[in-house]
Amino acid sequence: MIEVKNLSHKYSGNSDYSVKDISFGIKQGEIFGFLGPSGAGKSTVQKILTGLLKLQNGSVKIDGKDVTSAGTDFFEKIGVSFELPNIYEKLTGYENLKFYAGLFRSKTFDPYEVLEWVDLKDAAGKKAGDYSKGMKQRLIFARAIINDPEILFLDEPLSGLDPTTAQKLKKIIIDFRSRGKTIFLTTHNMFVADELCDNVAFINTGEIISMDSPKNLKLKYGNHSLKIEYTDGEKTKTDIFFLEKSEDKEQFKNIVDKNKIITVHSGEATLEEIFIKITGRRLS
Ligand SMILES: Nc1ncnc2c1ncn2[C@@H]1O[C@H](COP(=O)(O)OP(=O)(O)OP(=O)(O)O)[C@@H](O)[C@H]1O
Ligand SMILES: [Mg+2]
């Protein structure tokens, strides 16, 4: 459904590339997660895929067509949510959706119905400018799905939402997938990725450093992790080891021999731990 080859992007005025020669494919009916820390290049990639940023290097094909030649048909069948709320503050939540729905030739959902899904029905008549941050974010999400899009691009859709609301939005995303829709989702939350995504790409400083299903990533890097906190002379350090790996076993033994151990925690490896192991960076 989405095919990206050798994509690079450099913003004018910057000396370095924000996206460096990345390639990936997304099948129809798949939730694909783009994961990485702040500044990794996630939003830049989403903006290129949705035609918001001009393609500089590489190719992006969506449903077999080059994104550079995207026309009305393309915009009819996609839904996009942005990380920063860009809504009409003077219009009510309902009016925002009604206005947006009017831009489509194809059939859209009833704005009230969608507001109910995202738990905003009671606030339908309130000015969007007076919405809280989380409410604005839900309105942006509602707007992204109003045209029942074939492909949904979601930039950090759940960040900052309370667990109950986040759960509701996750359910909507899963329902979309079950109806054969394709979802591209960026996040720096590994739990969200693990729970929702069929495949994930780890992105760090503009490069994809690993890509697979969450299950396979765990099989590849280790299913069980051991996190130890220890003092190395003055400093307290934390390290993560995957004991399926012989080099990790060696390092672990070394640390236990030479340092004072404070805590040891073992458990099922999380994607976050794997990401830290590969990049040395935390996600947030
Ligand atoms: N309009 C812009 N002009 C110049 N540089 C930019 C612009 N937008 C983003 N960048 C740079 O490109 C890099 C990637 O930014 P991007 O917004 O894609 O990251 P991100 O992964 O979405 O981060 P976050 O998790 O904080 O949203 C960063 O170094 C950022 O400073
Ligand atoms: Mg971003």
Closest CA to 156 of 187, 135, 115: 187
**Domain range for 255:** 224-268
Ligand 1, atom 14: nearest CA belongs to which residue? 41
- For residue 104, the domain's CATH number is 3.40.50.300
Q: What is the pLDDT of residue 197?
A: 96
Q: Which residues of the chain have pLDDT under 50?
A: none
Return all residues near 264 (Cβ < 8 A) that are at least 6 apart. Answer: 226, 227, 228, 229
The reply to whether 101 and 185 lie within a common domain is: yes
**What's the number of domains the chain is made of?**
2
Q: What is the pLDDT of residue 284?
A: 61
Q: What is the pLDDT of residues 106-156, one digit of tens each?
A: 899 999 999 999 999 999 999 999 999 899 999 999 999 999 999 999 999
Ligand 1, atom 12: nearest CA belongs to which residue? 18
Asked if residue 274 belongs to a domain, the reply is no
Return all residues near 67 (Cβ < 8 A) that are at least 6 apart. Answer: 48, 49, 51, 55, 60, 61, 74
Q: How far is the CA of 48 from the centre of ligand 1 (A)?
A: 12
What pTM was computed for the model?
0.87
Q: Which residue of 17, 43, 50, 208 sits with most ligand 1 atoms within 8 Å of its CB, as the best mutation to test the pocket?
A: 43
Burial of residue 63 (CB within 10 Å: 0-12, 13-18, 19+) is middle
The reply to whether 85 and 200 lie within a common domain is: yes
Q: What is the pLDDT of residue 95?
A: 97
Tell me if 83 CB under 6 Å of ligand 1. yes
Ligand 1, atom 29: nearest CA belongs to which residue? 39
- 105 secondary structure, DSSP code: S
Rg (CA), the chain: 21
Asked if residue 275 belongs to a domain, the reply is no
Q: What is the pLDDT of residue 278?
A: 81
Q: What is the pLDDT of residue 137?
A: 92
CA–CA distances in Å: residue 9 to residues 3, 62, 154, 169, 237: 16, 18, 20, 31, 36
Ligand 1, atom 8: nearest CA belongs to which residue? 44
Q: Which residue of 10, 44, 203 sits with most ligand 1 atoms within 8 Å of its CB, as the best mutation to test the pocket?
A: 44
Ligand 1, atom 31: nearest CA belongs to which residue? 39
The reply to whether 113 and 230 lie within a common domain is: no
Q: What is the pLDDT of residue 150?
A: 96
SS3 category, 262: strand
The reply to whether 250 and 125 lie within a common domain is: no
The reply to whether 106 and 194 lie within a common domain is: yes
Cα(197)–Cα(169) distance, integer angstroms: 14
Tell me if 41 CB under 6 Å of ligand 1. yes
Asked if residue 280 belongs to a domain, the reply is no
